Structure 1
Amino acid sequence: MSDEQANQIRKGRHLETVSLIYNLLEVGVSLAAGFATGSSALISWGIDSIVESNSAAFMIWRLHGEEKGIGQRNVLKRKKIALSVLSVAFAIAVLFILYESISKVVSGETSSISWWGIGILMVSLVVNPILAWGKYRFGMETDSPSLKYDAIDTMICEYQTIVVLLGIGLVHWQGWWWADPVAALLIVPYVAWEAFHAGRDAWNVHPEDAAVGNDASA
């Protein structure tokens, strides 16, 4: 690995660290506001942010290994572990969001407004595109499909943020009580797809191939 490539990987790791810190902020504010106001959409968004935090943490672990030159076989082992953990985390998130949303639809419970929740959503509308651009840039410069994939994930979070904001707005400015749990349910297809996609990718990673010279892309 050249010094330039190692430097770019280090910058990518630092960006993932920023992403992790911000996602943890999202988790704290959105879950606190969601449980306080009974907003399924905010709670579901916060649960997804937990999964995104896990993703960032595992990317940091993996990039740190690449930066230290741990070898392709160990890089692939870390990739397989990271994808497997993410697949399980996404699957659990799907079940939780479905339970939370369907319960609110059945009960007809209306959430109250949270300006803290709206505030973190508005901040995310600005922050997520910046993080996605940085991840994609370093992914291109280091030829890392994982960083580019993580950039796409971050932009999908932008879609989720817009959906949740619309749901909260329709509840409080149009009186459509069902818009909040429906907004949460709209997140489910993405999370379910990510669970399947991560599980499939984990299954297709074979660290032993690196030992015989058949390195897979990391």
Structure 2
Amino acid sequence: MENNRETPNTNDDQTNDTNNVQGIRRGRYVEITSLIYNITEVAISLTAGFATGSSALVSWGVDSIVECNSAAFMIWRLHGEEKGISDREVRKRKKIALSVLSAAFTIAVLFICYEAISKLIGQESASLSWWGIGILLVSLVVNPMLAWGKHYYGKKTDSPSLKYDAIDTMICEYQTIVVLIGIGLVQWQGWWWADPIAALLIVPYVAWEAYEAGRDAWAVDVDQTED
């Protein structure tokens, strides 16, 4: 008599696992691209910012340093997931990454406040930097593309971290617009105070990121057991 009982289909599970690994790998490639681009942002914006006395450009560059850290830790974490490390190790890497990011964002807030308030007190006006404006304009195009890639692969692999990082990248887009407006008002309206004010407008978002990263790090239980 023929046995008609169904047997578990492992082919679908293997296919899903393969697709998930490929999605994680491509998400990691997006983060590598993000890291390389953010390093470029840091180099140009800080050089131009210090050379012209622009608090807004310097603050934007400092935030880009934090974004570099974020991308580097995401690469580290995704590489581990791609290699199939244990759930406990994934949670451990997540806790470390979020803790470091929270500290980095906090330091960035303190530095930006110091830089901007010093310029306001000294009433220092920033000069024009076409290099600075150039990297800001490039970022207006590049950041949405990076954010789309992070969100796409985050959704495809069900990775909250990638989707969360996509939101961070779009916040950088907002900051880029604010800095451009600040520089424009200084150069074309003569409002010397617009540059440090633009820098201070970045602070609430960076401070919120510091809080959220710290809260999420605290919530991660490395030794949690599955139900």
**Could you say which TM-score interval applies, normalised by the shorter chain?**
over 0.9
1:213, distance to aligned residue in structure 2 (A): 1.7
* Aligned residue pair count: 212
What is residue 176 of structure 1 aligned with on the other side? 191
- What is the aligned counterpart of 1:121 among 129, 136, 144? 136
State the one-letter code of the partner of 1:18.
T
Structure 1 position 159 matched with structure 2 position 166: no
Give the SS at the match of 2:127. coil
- What is the aligned counterpart of 1:102 among 110, 113, 117? 117
Give the number of the structure whose alpha-carbon radius of gyration is greater: 2
Structure 1 position 70 matched with structure 2 position 85: yes
1:116, distance to aligned residue in structure 2 (A): 0.2
What is residue 32 of structure 1 aligned with on the other side? 47
RMSD of aligned Cα (Å): 0.7
Structure 1 position 213 matched with structure 2 position 226: yes
Q: 1:126, 1:174 → 2: CA distance?
A: 26
What is residue 201 of structure 1 aligned with on the other side? 216
Give the SS at the match of 1:2. helix
Q: 1:187, 1:84 → 2: CA distance?
A: 21
What is residue 191 of structure 1 aligned with on the other side? 206
Q: 1:213, 1:132 → 2: CA distance?
A: 32
Give the SS at the match of 1:176. coil
Q: Deviations over 1:159-198 (max 9, x none)?
A: 0000000000000000000000000000000000000000
Question: What stretches of structure 1 of length at least 5 have no aligned partner?
Answer: none
Question: What stretches of structure 2 of length at least 5 have no aligned partner?
Answer: 1-15
- What is the aligned counterpart of 1:50 among 35, 50, 65? 65
State the one-letter code of the partner of 1:74.
E
State the one-letter code of the partner of 2:131.
W
Q: Percent identity?
A: 74
Give TM-score, length-normalised by structure 1.
Answer: 0.96
Deviation beyond 3 Å, 4+ runs, structure 1: none
What is residue 97 of structure 2 aligned with on the other side? 82
Give TM-score, length-normalised by structure 2.
Answer: 0.93
1:142, distance to aligned residue in structure 2 (A): 0.2
Q: 1:185, 1:151 → 2: CA distance?
A: 23
What is residue 13 of structure 1 aligned with on the other side? 28
What is residue 164 of structure 2 aligned with on the other side? 149
